Structure 1
Amino acid sequence: MNRTLGIVSVLLAASLYGFVNTIVKLAYADGFEFPELTISQYVYGTIGLIILILATRSFGRVTLRDYLKLLAVGGFGLGGTSLALYKSLAYVPTSVSLVMLFQFTWIGLLIEMLVLKRKIHRNEWLAVGIILAGTLLVLQITGIDSETINAPGLIFGFIAAICYSIFLIGASMLPETIPQFYKNGLMVSGTLVLLFIGFAVTTPIVEINPFGAVLKWGLLLGILAQLLPPVLFTYGAPKIGGTLTSILSSVELPVGIIASNLILGEQVVLVQWIGMLLILAGIVVSQVRQGEAGKA
């Protein structure tokens, strides 16, 4: 049951993340800038988590070592992903940013293999291959205008993929002894402080006011990117492991494509539906391997 709940939590978290790119594009079109969107979402995410902590009295003892782990996963993983992805979206189309972000499917495996010394099974590599093939079909790589691709957009997108891999794997290694909401509150609020200090160096405070006109976008992004997904990830990831968390997170792409179709009116053609089915097939392949391992 715990494993099933973990899988459902990760799938739901990734699905919520699927809406984020579309919302960021809408916010950019509404005239808002990168710093205010980033800070505002962390402010409202932190406020939401504080409310949950107080309502559930989810307090606990945290050692300095555990807090540093939370800050690393939140700051480098969660915060780094937001910073790099939103910056990438400012330079290139959503599809190009997604192509780069979804390199986390193999980056995560490399991290586990080279850094954590975990043996990667053949079905896991097969699952990643199927997912990447589906990704290319969904994003219709051959149809992307080369003139819209530039180095900064690609670099920031790839950095987002690395940070996302760190977050997914790091979330699976966080201590489960710390109450859930308290754990996420420390992680997101710590990241907010780091981001605020970083932006304050280059951006006037008045331009990153989260309680001004940006409120509706900050609130929406705060819920979809900083409140619910981190809670669901840090609940589910320790129950299923870093590799499966990375693979299941691929559901973010088809959800993102469907969201862009419904909200932005972007057309979804047959080849993209085929790609989405391949991504789901890749997830099934990874599950077959995991199920067999559980019986051994």
Structure 2
Amino acid sequence: MSTFVKIKGIAAVTLGAASFGILSTFVKKAYKQDFTLAEVTGTQVLLGAAFLWLAFFLTNKKTLTKKKYTHPFWLIMLCGMSTGAVSILYYRCVELVPASIAIVLLMQYIWIGALLEWLLFKSPPSKVQVIGSIFVIFGTLLSTGIIERGTETISTTGILYGLSAATSFSLFIILNGRVGNDYPVLKKSALMITGASILVMLVLTPVSLLSLGTWESILPYALVLSLFGTVIPPVLFAYGMPKTGYSLGSILSSVELPVAVMMSYFVLHEHVSPLQWSGVIFILIVIILINTYKRK
């Protein structure tokens, strides 16, 4: 593989992760315009599914013949419900705590995922993962400002939603790596987001989306959230990950954290103290060290 090809892969993965990082800021801005959780989440998954299916059909005109896959399509949709749960729980967390704290809570998937792998597949975490997880938790205490201000300034309910979102995200990563890997990327992504849409419709029942007026007013936010949350990242990751390798890709994916914190600081003007910035940097260093060790 040429250096230029690898650089393109690095750029793709970095941009994909950065796309995820901007979501919480635009969710906050949508809430300030009095849009509800159901409207924000519902428009994102519905538009995202529409974009992905359209992209799949446009790029697979000659290959729409039936093909036998390892897993049935409904199982992919069922697994996709985990990403719907991430949206519901994470965006609810963003309602209750600052966006800079919400993203730190979501990053707890690093140690929660290792715990789930152990519980579900009897695959115990390595010493490096255990030590890294402890450091991530310590970095979280710095990043959320709990050490400075205590818990009275942070919604306990928001923290629980954030950790639940991290658990759902861990489950999504585990399932995504094990199910439907022989599907075309766009088809698998479209099926997963379709499953996410079904879960969102059942749980949040966004009946206001039946009104054309609601769509007209929320469309700018819906386009940003669907494109940068459900369309662009999967395509960029699918292109870039094979060129970077999983370990380097995981390190690059952590750019989501500083992007989200910087967006909340510069765009939403949320207060982020020097100690919180140090916690963010600390978590990034731990992620890099864990994945560098894995690669070696």
Equivalent of 2:158, from 153, 156, 174? 153
2: CA distance, partners of 1:31 / 1:253: 26
Displacement, 1:187?
A: 1.2
Instruction: Say whether 1:196 aligns with 2:201.
Output: yes
Aligned to 1:169: 174
Aligned to 1:73: 79
Alignment deviations for residues 143-188 of structure 1 (CA, whole Å, 9 cap, x no partner): 4574444443233222211101111222222333211111111111
1: CA distance, partners of 2:203 / 2:230: 18
Displacement, 1:232?
A: 4.4
Displacement, 1:4?
A: 9.3
Alignment deviations for residues 64-88 of structure 1 (CA, whole Å, 9 cap, x no partner): 834233223311x210000011122
Alignment deviations for residues 194-243 of structure 1 (CA, whole Å, 9 cap, x no partner): 3224433x7455469762211111111001111123444567779967x9
> Cα 1:186–1:157, aligned 2, differ >3 Å: closer, same or farther?
same
Letter in 2 for 1:165: S
Letter in 2 for 1:284: I
Displacement, 1:101?
A: 2.4
Aligned to 2:287: 283
> Cα 1:248–1:126, aligned 2, differ >3 Å: closer, same or farther?
farther
Displacement, 1:28?
A: 0.4
1: CA distance, partners of 2:232 / 2:256: 14
1: CA distance, partners of 2:145 / 2:187: 41
1: CA distance, partners of 2:34 / 2:73: 37
1: CA distance, partners of 2:93 / 2:262: 21
Superposition TM-score, scaled by structure 2 size: 0.81
Equivalent of 1:224, from 219, 224, 228? 228
> Cα 1:41–1:181, aligned 2, differ >3 Å: closer, same or farther?
same
Letter in 2 for 1:182: K
Aligned to 2:87: 82
DSSP 3-state at the match of 1:213? helix
2: CA distance, partners of 1:208 / 1:171: 34
Equivalent of 2:47, from 44, 48, 53? 44
Aligned to 2:127: 122
Letter in 2 for 1:127: G
Contact (CA 8 Å) 2:99, 2:261: kept in 1 or not?
A: no
1: CA distance, partners of 2:140 / 2:87: 21
1: CA distance, partners of 2:52 / 2:75: 19
Aligned to 1:30: 33
Alignment deviations for residues 22-56 of structure 1 (CA, whole Å, 9 cap, x no partner): 11111101111111111111122122212321231
2: CA distance, partners of 1:231 / 1:34: 26
Letter in 2 for 1:110: L
Displacement, 1:136?
A: 2.9
Contact (CA 8 Å) 1:168, 1:246: kept in 2 or not?
A: no
Instruction: Say whether 1:97 aligns with 2:102.
Output: yes
Letter in 2 for 1:45: G
Aligned to 1:108: 113
Equivalent of 1:20, from 23, 33, 41? 23
Equivalent of 1:257, from 254, 257, 261? 261
Gaps of 5+ in 2: none
Aligned to 2:278: 274
